[in-house]
């Protein structure tokens, strides 16, 4: 089935991010999985080998998707990898106590395809260790692929293939108008939301609601609370304005 690939199509908006990948062959296999489903934006964060994209193993496993490798980018941090994105989904087989909301791949794919204002990224962890908590907490949702509970292990390329497939199928509904509120502003970028969290944390420390020396789980809970929404730029600015007023009042 040929899918429409307009500028707002999910094929042009969706980014695949691999974090600290160990094997160049896995990067090549991911490139192949992406290309078979029509996606092309690949970013690799701190791979084990600096020249991982050019390794013979990566090229061999790409098996015809060398163009995806050629256009892929190496990033030095997750923040750099997510630059320009306003929505991120972390993939993990391991559920966390303070994770963002957990969604199934099919549900997420439908949401991404239906909202042309989203510039999303799918974030995949290291083959052995997965994603660290601090990266999961930066994301809006946590994806959990339903699998055999007695053996739920998927390799990296398989996980990418599942998500890429679901997103491709969901793109068949690109033309459908998404439901929701009548007015929607521009969604805030992840860097803007991170800045808001930092500002809010300063204000909470200033009014002694948060003990900087014993923060416990307050900030992860606040991040979890806001991750259930899709914050717009104006909403982020309102929250930062509240934090600013608190800090100014304390200084007086």
- Over residues 85-95, the pLDDT tens digits come to 999 999 987 77
Question: pLDDT (tens digit, 9 = 90+) per residue, 114-156?
Answer: 999 999 999 999 988 889 989 999 999 999 898 888 887 789 9
For the chain, what are the domain ranges? 10-173, 190-251
Instruction: Give the pairing of strands 73-75 and 15-19.
Output: unpaired
Whether 167 and 37 have beta carbons less than 8 Å apart is answered as yes
Class of domain 10-173: alpha beta
What is the overall mean pLDDT for the chain? Answer: 89
CB contact set of 106 (below 8 Å; sequence gap of 6+): 166, 169, 170
CATH 1.10.3720.10 fits 190-251, yes or no: no
Q: How many CB atoms lie within 10 A of CB 52?
A: 24
Q: pLDDT tens digits for 206-241?
A: 999 999 888 888 999 998 899 888 899 999 999 999
pTM of the model: 0.76
- pLDDT above 80: residue 180: no
């Amino acid at each position: 089935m040929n899918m429409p690939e307009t500028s707002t199509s999910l094929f042009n908006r969706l980014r695949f991010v691999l974090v600290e990948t160990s094997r160049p062959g896995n990067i090549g296999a991911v490139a192949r999985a992406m290309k078979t489903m029509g996606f092309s934006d690949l970013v690799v964060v701190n791979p084990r080998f600096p020249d991982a994209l050019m390794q013979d193993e990566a090229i061999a496993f790409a098996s015809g998707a060398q163009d995806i490798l050629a256009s892929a980018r190496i990033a030095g941090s997750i923040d750099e990898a997510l630059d320009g994105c306003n929505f991120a989904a972390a993939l993990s087989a391991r559920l966390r106590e303070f994770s963002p909301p957990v969604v199934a791949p099919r549900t997420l794919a439908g949401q991404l395809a239906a909202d042309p204002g989203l510039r999303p990224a799918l974030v995949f962890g290291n083959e052995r260790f997965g994603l660290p908590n601090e990266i999961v907490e930066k994301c809006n949702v946590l994806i959990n692929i339903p699998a055999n509970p007695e053996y739920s292990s998927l390799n990296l390329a398989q996980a990418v293939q599942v998500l890429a497939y679901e997103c491709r199928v969901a793109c068949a509904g690109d033309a459908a108008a998404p439901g929701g509120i009548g007015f929607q502003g521009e969604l805030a970028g992840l860097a803007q939301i991170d800045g808001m969290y930092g500002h809010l944390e300063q204000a909470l420390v200033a009014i002694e609601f948060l003990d900087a020396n014993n923060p416990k789980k307050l900030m992860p809970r606040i991040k979890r609370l806001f991750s259930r929404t899709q914050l717009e730029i104006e909403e982020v600015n309102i929250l930062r304005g509240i934090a600013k007023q608190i800090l100014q009042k304390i200084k007086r």
